[in-house]
Amino acid sequence: MRVDIWSDIVCPFCYIGKKRLEAVAADMGVELEIHWHSFQLDPEAPISQSVSNSVRLAEKYNRTVEEVEEMQANIAKMALEEGIVFNWEKANSGNTFNAHRIIHLAQSKGLGSEAKEAFFYSYMTQGLPVGERETIEDVASRIGLNPVEVDDVLDGDEFADFVRFDEEMAREQLNVTAVPFFVFDQRIALAGAQPRDVFKQVIERALEAPAAPSTPESDTPQ
């Protein structure tokens, strides 16, 4: 089953959604053909942040640091249920444009999911600054990408158009305002890191439904 996913590597709900989808598909015996698409939550972010995530998010959403820390602790508990160790205290956010370009490179070699997993892990568990070149090169090496090809991408503009196209499609055609965002078989859309039973319902619907129009329909099972 083809699943198109728009997400960002600094989005914990995107990681949670990935794990839930994979677990449900495995339980159902459904093989997934995942196509990863770029969506930057903060395209204007610097390469790395000079303040903690808690301070940054508190300023961004006009909350207190204490409120943000409580929110992140709750997300970490949710993530742990999916086998994800979210060390939010040391997570170092940053601009993800180049990471998305490397994910596209990896995807061109059949390693898209491996790249996505490695970037999620680097940010959320290891607390590495995912916008910095050293981290990006480390992730690329970890999944077996050719370092010369990685350098060529990072030194030039290769795959930049892919990132921009993904984001334009998300905003202008699919009306995506937040991620993760899933499209099953190019016709059934689902927004958010939904509970496992919701993913199961959507997969069952995709398996049962006949071929449909190319524009995905929105679907949120009750």
Three-state DSSP string of 154-200 = HHCCCCHHHHHHHHHHHHHHCCCCCCCEEEECCCEEEECCCCHHHHH
Determine phi and psi for 147, rounding to 5 degrees.
-60, -30
Find out whether 32 and 203 touch, Cβ atoms under 8 Å: no
The CA-based diameter of the chain, rounded to the nearest angstrom, is: 51
Q: What is the model's pTM?
A: 0.91
Question: What's the N-to-C CA distance of the chain in angstroms?
Answer: 22
Q: In whole angstroms, what is the distance from residue 14 CA to residue 218 CA?
A: 18
pLDDT in tens, the chain (222 residues): 999 999 999 999 999 999 999 999 999 999 999 999 999 999 999 998 888 889 999 998 999 999 999 999 999 999 999 999 999 999 989 999 999 999 999 999 999 999 999 999 999 999 999 999 999 999 999 999 999 999 999 999 999 999 999 999 999 999 999 999 999 999 999 999 999 999 999 999 999 966 544 445 444 333
Closest by CA position to 159, among listed 118, 196, 112: 112
What is residue 49's predicted lDDT score, i.e. its pLDDT?
86
A 10 A CB-CB count for 42 gives 14
Closest by CA position to 199, among listed 32, 50, 12, 39: 32
The CATH architecture to which 2-218 belongs is: 3-Layer(aba) Sandwich (3.40)
Distance, CA of 179 to chain centre = 8
Two tokens, residue 217:
């329909």
Torsion from C-alpha of 184, 106, 76, 3, nearest 10 degrees = 0
Q: In whole angstroms, what is the distance from residue 144 CA to residue 147 CA?
A: 9
Domain ranges across the chain: 2-218
What single string gives the DSSP state of each residue in 19-88?
HHHHHHHHHHTPPPEEEEEE--S-TT--SS-SS-HHHHHHHHHT--HHHHHHHHHHHHHHHHTTT----T
Per the listing, tokens 């030039």 go with 156
